[in-house]
C-alpha cells in the first residue's frame, strides 16, 4: 500500500500514528544545526489580531474538508527544509514585516508567533528547539495549532512542551466525538478518536494554556455529536465554559477543500486529481 493521500471512495481506515511516523520520515532530516523540518512559507496574517506564521508540511489525518495546501497529501514533494534556528529567524522576520495590505493600518505591530498549516508536532526535537529559541526572544506569545494526535499518545512530549508554558498557547483542533465520526471525517481508524481529548487533558494537567476548537459545521457533524463533544470538553475543562465559548469551525470553500470534497465521493475525479497533482510536482 502506498502513502495515504487525500481520501477517496476506495480509502481504507488507516493508523494515524503510523502515518505520522511515515510522514516524519519525509518532512524531517538531520542537519548541522539539529533536526530540520519542511515548511512551505512564513508570513504574517491578520488572525489573532496579527500573527507571524510558519506553515508546516505534512499531517497524520486526512480530513476531507481540510483547507491546507497539497503539501498535506504530497509532503515528499513540497516545501523546503529549515533548521530550528532558521524557522525562528523566519518567524521573527515575518513579525517585523507585519501584516500587509489594508490590514497594516489596523494591525501596526505583530507580536505573536505561530506554527500552523498541516501538523507542527511532527518532528518533536525540531519543534522543541524552535520553542527554546522563541522563549529567549522578545515575543510574548507562541501559538501551536495541533490535531492532538501525537500529544495524546505521548505525555512526555507534553511535559517537554510545558517547559515553555509561560509563552505557549496550544490550540487543539477536534474533528469528532464518536469513532464513526472520526473515521468519516479524517479517514483514520475510529479507535483513535479520543487522542485529542487526552491531549487537551495532558496539556491542562501540565499547566499549559490550551483551548479546544472543533469542526462542528452541521454539514459534517450532527447536532447530537456536537452535544457529546461539548459535554466531553466540559468534563475535561469545566473552567473552559465550552458551551458558551467553543471556537466552532465551518467548512470554507477553498479550492483545496472543494477538490478534496469531490475526490471523497467521485472515484474518477479522485484518479484524475492525483494524476494531475503528481504531474505538477
- Percent of residues, the chain, with pLDDT higher than 90: 95
Structure-model confidence comparison of residues 112 and 278, the more confident one: 112
If you average pLDDT over residues 195-206, what whole number do you get? Answer: 98
Q: Domain residues of the chain, as ranges?
A: 16-280
Q: Could you give the dihedral angle defined by the CA atoms of residues 213, 20, 204 and 237, in that order, rounded to the nearest 10 degrees?
A: 40
Give the confidence band of 55 by pLDDT, cuts at 50, 70, 90.
very high
| pLDDT of 25 above 80 | yes
How confident is the model over 228-244, as pLDDT tens digits? 999 999 999 999 999 99
What's residue 281's pLDDT?
56
| pLDDT of 171 above 90 | yes
Closest CA to 5 of 77, 73, 57, 68: 73
How confident is the model over 136-166, as pLDDT tens digits? 999 999 999 999 999 999 999 999 999 999 9
Predicted structure pTM score: 0.96
| pLDDT of 190 above 90 | yes
What's residue 89's pLDDT?
98
Name the average pLDDT for the chain: 97
Give the confidence band of 178 by pLDDT, cuts at 50, 70, 90.
very high
Cell numbers describing residue 90 = 523566519
How confident is the model over 96-113, as pLDDT tens digits? 999 988 888 899 999 999
Please tell me the class of the 16-280 domain. Answer: alpha beta
Amino acid at each position: 500500500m502506498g502513502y495515504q493521500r487525500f481520501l477517496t471512495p476506495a480509502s481504507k481506515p488507516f493508523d494515524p500514528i503510523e502515518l505520522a511516523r511515515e510522514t516524519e520520515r519525509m518532512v524531517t532530516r538531520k542537519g548541522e544545526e539539529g533536526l530540520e523540518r519542511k515548511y512551505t512559507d512564513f508570513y504574517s496574517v491578520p488572525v489573532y489580531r496579527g500573527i507571524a506564521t510558519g506553515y508546516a508540511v505534512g499531517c497524520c489525518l486526512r480530513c476531507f474538508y481540510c483547507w491546507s495546501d497539497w503539501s498535506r497529501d504530497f509532503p515528499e514533494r513540497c516545501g523546503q527544509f529549515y533548521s530550528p534556528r532558521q524557522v525562528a529567524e523566519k518567524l521573527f522576520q515575518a513579525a517585523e514585516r507585519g501584516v500587509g495590505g489594508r490590514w497594516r493600518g489596523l494591525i501596526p505591530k505583530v507580536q505573536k508567533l505561530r506554527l500552523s498549516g498541516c501538523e507542527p508536532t511532527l518532528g518533536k526535537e525540531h519543534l522543541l528547539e524552535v520553542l527554546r529559541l522563541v522563549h529567549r526572544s522578545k515575543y510574548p506569545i507562541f501559538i501551536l495549532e495541533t490535531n492532538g494526535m501525537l500529544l495524546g499518545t505521548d505525555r512526555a512530549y507534553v511535559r517537554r512542551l510545558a517547559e515553555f508554558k509561560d509563552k505557549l498557547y496550544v490550540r487543539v483542533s477536534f474533528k469528532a466525538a464518536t469513532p464513526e465520526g472520526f473515521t468519516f471525517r479524517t479517514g483514520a481508524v475510529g479507535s483513535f478518536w479520543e487522542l485529542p481529548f487526552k491531549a487537551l487533558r495532558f496539556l491542562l494537567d501540565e499547566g499549559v494554556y490550551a483551548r479546544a476548537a472543533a469542526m462542528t459545521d452541521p454539514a459534517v457533524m450532527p447536532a447530537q455529536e456536537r452535544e457529546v463533544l461539548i459535554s466531553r470538553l466540559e468534563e475535561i475543562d469545566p473552567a473552559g465554559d465550552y458551551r458558551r465559548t467553543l471556537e466552532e469551525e465551518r467548512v470554507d470553500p477553498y479550492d483545496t477543500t472543494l477538490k478534496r470534497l469531490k475526490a471523497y465521493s467521485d472515484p474518477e475525479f479522485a484518479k484524475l486529481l492525483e494524476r494531475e497533482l503528481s504531474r505538477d510536482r
